[in-house]
Each structure stands twice: as C-alpha cells, then as structure tokens.
Amino acid sequence: MLEAEIQKERDDRKEKKIKERAAAMIVIQENEKEKQKRMQEKEADRLYQIKLQEDYIKEQERKEKQRADEYAAREQRIQNAMSKMADTVLKKSNAAEKEAELRALRFAIERDKAAAAEDERRKKAVMDRNNEIK
C-alpha cells in the first residue's frame, strides 16, 4: 500500500511534469508566434517607411523638375522678349537710317534741282545779255 502510494505520487509528479512541459511548450509556441507576428509587423513597417521615403523622393524630384521647367520657360520668355525688343530697336534703327537716307536723297535732289535751275537762270541771263548786245 505504501509502495502503491509512493508509485502514485511518482506517477502524479511525472504526469504533472508532463502537463507543465506541455503547457510550457504551448507558451513557447505562442511566444514564437507572437515574435513572428511582431517581426512581420516590423518588416511591414520598414517596407512602408521605405515606400514613404521613395514617394517623398519622387515628389521632390517632380517638384524640382517642375521648378526647372518653369525656370527654363521663364528664361525662354525673357529671351523672346529681348529678341523682340532687339528686333524692334533694329527695325526702328533701320527705319531711322532709311529716313535719314531719304532726307539726304531728297535734299540732294532739291539741291541738284536748285543748282540746275540756277544754271538755267544763268544761261538765260547770259543769252539775254548776248541778245541785248547783238
């Protein structure tokens, strides 16, 4: 009977140890699952952070390209305006030169006409004097 009780206590302790080990294994497995879940969440967060950084970089590159395009367009508008002003100045200058040339030409023609008229008047005066002398 004593031996049976001792055996029963041994069996009970053995069974208790087996149950404790089984419970510990369940806790270890649950902990491992939780650890895996945390690692997956951490990896997902890391990937999300990388995506956010890539999106931010793309947005900054897009803004920089937009600024560069706006700057180039502004520069082109300035160049066009300067070219147009240069053309206008050149046209005005050319027009002024042509006007000066035309004035000089008119003056020369008028001077030549006046000189021709003077020559004609002198010839007529000489002829009139010659006619009077005869």
The answer to whether position 118 is within a domain reads no
Q: What is the mean pLDDT of residues 113-123?
A: 86
Structure tokens at 108: 């020369």
CA 125 vs. chain centroid, Å, equals 84
**Count of domains forming the chain:** 1
The answer to whether position 134 is within a domain reads no
Q: What is the mean pLDDT of residues 52-63?
A: 96
Q: What is the Cα Rg of the chain in Å?
A: 57
pLDDT digits (tens, 9 = 90+) for 72-108: 999 999 899 888 887 787 777 777 788 888 888 888 8
- Name the pLDDT band for 29 (thresholds 50, 70, 90): very high
* Containing structural domain, residue 55: 1-95
**Which pLDDT value is given to residue 127?**
81
Q: Distance (Å, rounded) from C-alpha 120 to C-alpha 31?
A: 130
**Which pLDDT value is given to residue 134?**
62
3-state secondary structure of 79: helix
